[in-house]
Amino acid sequence: MNIKLNILTAAILAGISTGAISQVVPPEVPAIYAAGPTSPLVSSTDLSMAERTAYANYEAVMQIAEARIHATSCAGSAGSFSVTAASDGVVLSPATNYVTVDSPSSTFTVSSTAQLPDAIDNRGQQISVDMAAGALSKKALQLYHADVAFNGVNNMMDSNSFVSILGINNRFDKYYGKVIKDFYRGSLDNNSPDFYNIYDWGLQSLDKIGYPVNKYWQRSMSHRDDGSIGRTVFVKDRLVGATACRIIIDTSGFNNQDFFQQTGTLIIQTATPGVSVPQFTAYPFVQK
């Protein structure tokens, strides 16, 4: 009797397992890529030098937050912290291209150095981002560095970085970040409100001791100021890791072809990737 029950139980579980697995399918390609990589929305971003250095700095802030989260926990890192950003895109000038994050009894500043353009036309732009030392929410940080590259048509960016953070064992742990993402215009019609919006989508791994430990999904929207307001929202959701975690940078101010100057917040929260991002549906991204 027990043998028959065991066989029946195993058959039921196998059926449930097979049914559950059959419902899990790879996600479809985002609509922007459905027509292929030659879409004019993808290939015509005209990012300025000020925007490129600002976005490189924002990426650095996100990666530092990711390291703090892994070294401690998402819940232990949660909070809302002040952000001040300024970039003019001048090459070899880290003093004028920076982001500062203030948190309780802590602060850190990342600064970017845009390199002189390569002698070969249309190769792209390389940017270095650095931070000597600082702290995020009372956790010490040191020696952040990233090598960032934009391609010649300003629709792709990649980054390789490292940073050390004081972990729960009271020793500095070193983390490495690898990012690949692309940028595209909301619209090429200058009569459309979406004409002023730049979007991005990408993925990242966070490594420790040379091995991947977390995977993040990257999205952003940046609205160039059109006589009223400029706003930038970067969002990262942890896809692989111990717990759900979301990181948001939400800033507003100036964002034009000459300079980028915005203030706002860095937010760390325990949201899951499926939870909507209210910042993406606020003014000026959705016109009131």
How much is the pTM?
A: 0.89
> What is the rounded CA–CA span in Å between residue 201 and residue 212?
20
Asked if 175 and 168 touch (Cβ cutoff 8 Å), the reply is: no
C-alpha torsion 213→219→225→229, nearest 10: -90
Q: What pLDDT shows up at residue 188?
A: 85
> What is the rounded CA–CA span in Å between residue 73 and residue 244?
10
Residue with tokens 């791994």: 205
Q: What is the pLDDT along the chain (288 residues), one digit of tens a residue?
A: 455 445 444 443 444 444 444 467 777 777 888 888 767 777 778 899 999 999 999 999 999 999 999 999 999 999 999 999 999 999 999 999 999 999 999 999 999 999 987 766 778 899 999 999 999 999 999 999 999 999 988 889 999 999 999 988 889 999 999 999 999 988 888 888 788 899 999 999 999 988 999 999 999 999 998 777 899 999 999 999 999 999 999 999 999 888 999 999 999 999 999 999 999 988 888 754
Q: Which is nearest to 267 in space by CA: 251, 249, 245, 243?
A: 249
- Beta bridge pairs of residue 86: 98, 261
